[in-house]
Structure 1
Amino acid sequence: MNVTRLDEKEVLDRLDALAGLMADTVDGGASIGFLGPLDHAEATAWWKERAAGVAAGSLAIWAAHDVERVVGTVSLAFPDKPNSRHRAELVKLMVHRDARGRGLGRRLLTTAEEAAVAAGVTLLHLDTETDSPAEHLYTTAGWTRSGVIPDYAADPAGVLRPTTLYFKQLGAAAPTR
């Protein structure tokens, strides 16, 4: 299983595979911003819009792929404000349902954390559906739970769910982006 950082062209070249992963993740019940069932064309359009952020440097995307397909992703979203260059948001950590339970989520999380340190990021933050399986990953990886917001987002079935906010402080390097 390879994990690689995607450039703009690679995002565009892998639109179909990225959309397939996203649809599988939503169909599996993960609350990642979409209602189910997720239309493949909608997922493809969403990923296509991300390519510009990758080109601009405001978004970094890593994909895990086996021989045949993309089976996981993680991204870092970098703020555009001068007073925020020390932080980034961890977004769209996804693992295909049939690739779970093998440490891929942790590997993707570690990849993003190490890349953040290399970029001079000293603070990461994220939100995830409260009581989701992802919470175990974040707490065991040293993330700090900072609070819960009720009725934050609808899950794939359309039911409003709370979200839990997490952060992780990293090494104290100067921002280099």
Structure 2
Amino acid sequence: MSDWCIRPIAATPAALDDLATLLVETVASGASVSFLHPLAFEEARNFWTGSLEAAGRGERVVLGAFEGERIVGTVTLFLGFPPNQPHRAEIGKLMTRLSHRGQGIASALMAAAETLACERGKSHLVLDTAEEEGAASLYERLGFERAGLIPHFAFTPHGRMSGTILFWKPIAPLPGSPARAGARR
């Protein structure tokens, strides 16, 4: 196993290039992460520029799995929700370089995102994944529960229609629940 660590990603030219390369590779391999194949490098880089700008505003956290200074995986934790949803966060854009899959990077990224969500006072995580060739089995192994399936949700990167599976996971007591209220006394 390679030596890698998980930490937030700073918006540097090298990080943007690594993230863009990772996104292009992920889309080309068929993973449904909101883009169609072929994905131009500049389009991918522009996406990550905007994502890291949103992180700078506190709307999300973009975590990276770093091997040295090279990003080999990423996950985004979305934090900016309306006032009636202060208790939840959403997972998005979980990706690992093809050359680094099977090493536990995705699980480590998810664990780091969950810890960060708890530290930010969140009690629920939600996510979705493609019905076909998605990461449903990974999310189930990590304790996420299926909430349902939306058929014909989006196109895969190679143009087929696919459903999406919605998942959720309680990660802390709900705000105002007896366990949390008792802890404040």
Could you tell me which runs of 5 or more consecutive residues in structure 2 were left unpaired when the two chains were aligned: 176-185
Residue equivalent to 1:81: 82
**What is the CA distance between 1:173 and its match in structure 2?**
7.1
Mapped partners of 1:120, 1:160: distance in 2: 36
Look at both structures and tell me which one has the larger radius of gyration over its CA atoms. 2
Deviations 1:23-77 (A, max 9, x none): 1111111000000121100000000111221111111010011135211001111
1:115 maps to 2:122: no
Aligned residues: 171
The equivalences for 1:51-130 within 5 A come to 51-67=52-68, 69-130=70-131
Look up the SS of the partner of 2:117 in the other structure.
Answer: helix
| Amino acid of the structure 1 residue aligned with 2:115 | E
When residues 118 and 99 of structure 1 are mapped into structure 2, their CA distance, relative to the original with a 3 A threshold, is: same
Residue equivalent to 1:23: 24
Instruction: Please provide the CA RMSD for this pair.
Output: 1.4
1:32 maps to 2:33: yes
**Conserved 8 A contact 2:52-2:62:** no
**Conserved 8 A contact 2:60-2:80:** no
Percent identity, aligned pairs only, is 36
| Amino acid of the structure 1 residue aligned with 2:7 | T
**Conserved 8 A contact 2:126-2:167:** yes
Mapped partners of 2:95, 2:134: distance in 1: 12
Mapped partners of 2:129, 2:83: distance in 1: 26
**Conserved 8 A contact 1:85-1:121:** yes
Residue equivalent to 2:148: 147
**What is the CA distance between 1:172 and its match in structure 2?**
2.2
Runs of 4+ in 1 over 3 A off after TM superposition: none
Residue equivalent to 2:6: 3
Mapped partners of 1:12, 1:103: distance in 2: 26
Mapped partners of 2:81, 2:58: distance in 1: 10
